[in-house]
Chain A
Amino acid sequence: MEVKERLKEALSDLAREGGVTYADVRYLERETESITVRNEEVAGLSRTESRGYGIRVLYRGSWGFAASSDLSPEGVRETARKALTIAKASYLTQREPVVLDDTPPQVGAYRSPMEEDPFAVSLDEKLEPLFSAVRILRKDKRIQRAEAEMNIFRTRKLFLSTEGADIEQEIVESGAGIEALAVEGREVQRRSFPTSFSGDYAARGYEFIRGLGLAENAERIREEAIALLSADPCPAGEYDLILAGDQLALQVHESCGHPTELDRVLGTEISYAGGSFLTLDKLGKYRYGSEIVNIVADATIPGSIGSFGYDDEGVPAQRSYLVQEGILVGYLTSRETAPVIGQRSNGCMRAESWYHIPLIRMVNINLEPAPDGPTLDDLIADTKHGILMQTNKSWSIDDLRLNFQFGCEIAWEIKNGKKARLLKNPVYTGITPEFWRSCDAICGESEWKIWGLPNCGKGEPSQTMHVAHGTAPARFRKVRVGSGK
Chain B
Amino acid sequence: MIGKEDVLKLLKRVLERVPGPTELVLIGGRNELTRYTKSQIHQNVASQDYTVYVKAVDGKRIGVARTNRLDVDAISKAVDKAHGMARHQPENPYFPGLLGPSSYTPSETYFPSTPAFGPERRAEVLKEVFAKAGEHGFEVAGSFSVSEVEIAIANTEGLEAYQPATSAEVGFVVTSKEGMSRADAYSPDVDRIDFMALAERAISRCALDRDRIELPPGEYTVILEPACLAEVMRWLAFTAFGSEAFLSGQSFLAGALGERSMGENITIYDSAWEPGAPGLPFDFEGTPRKEVVLIEKGINRGVVFDRTSAAKAKTEPTGHGGPPGSPWGAIPWNLCMAPGDSTPEDIISSCKRGVLVTHFHYVNGYLDTKRALMTGMTRYGTFLVEEGEITRALANLRWTESMLRAFSNVKAISRDRVAYPLFGIGSVLVPTVMIEGFTFTGVQRE
Contacts and interface: CB of A to CB of B under 8 A. Distances in A.
A237 interface: no
B403 to A, nearest CB: 12
Interface stretch (A90-98, A380-388, A464-472): A90-98
Contacts of A6: none
B324 interface: yes
Nearest to A85: B119
A394 B248 contact: no
A271 B182 CA distance: 8
Interface of chain B, main secondary structure: strand
B378 to A, nearest CB: 9
B24 to A, nearest CB: 14
A375 interface: no
Contacts of A396: 362-364, 375-377, 398
Contact of A66 (B46, B368, B396): B46
B373 A484 contact: yes
B49 A68 contact: yes
Contacts of A45: 62-64, 85, 89, 325
A181 B367 contact: no
Contact of A277 (B37, B123, B446): B446
B41 A181 contact: no
A34 B45 contact: no
Nearest to B67: A49
B47 A355 contact: yes
Contact of B92 (A41, A405, A425, A460): A41
Interface residues of B, number: 93
Contacts of B141: 267, 270-271
B89 A427 contact: no
B22 interface: no
Given A69-B69, A277-B446, A46 B400 contact: no
A63 B42 CA distance: 7
A44 B64 CA distance: 8
Contacts, number: 262
Nearest to B171: A271
Interface string B400-434: 11100000000000000000000000000000000
B249 interface: yes
B175 interface: yes
Interface residues of A, number: 83
Contact of A433 (B62, B119, B143, B446): B446
A341 B192 CA distance: 43
B173 interface: yes
Given A123-B88, A183-B248, A461-B33, A93 B400 contact: no
Contacts of A425: 367-368
B394 to A, nearest CB: 13
Contact of A63 (B44, B49, B369, B445): B44
B431 to A, nearest CB: 24
A252 B379 CA distance: 23
Interface of B: 31-51, 53, 62-69, 78, 81-82, 85, 88-90, 92-94, 118-120, 122-124, 126-127, 130, 141-143, 145, 171, 173, 175, 180, 182, 248-250, 254, 324-327, 361-370, 373, 375-377, 379, 396, 398, 400-402, 439, 441-446
Interface of A: 34, 36, 38, 40-52, 54, 62-70, 82-83, 85-90, 92-96, 122-124, 127, 131, 144-145, 149, 181, 183, 186-188, 267-268, 270-272, 274, 277, 355-357, 393-400, 402-403, 405, 407, 425, 427, 429, 431, 433, 460-461, 484-485
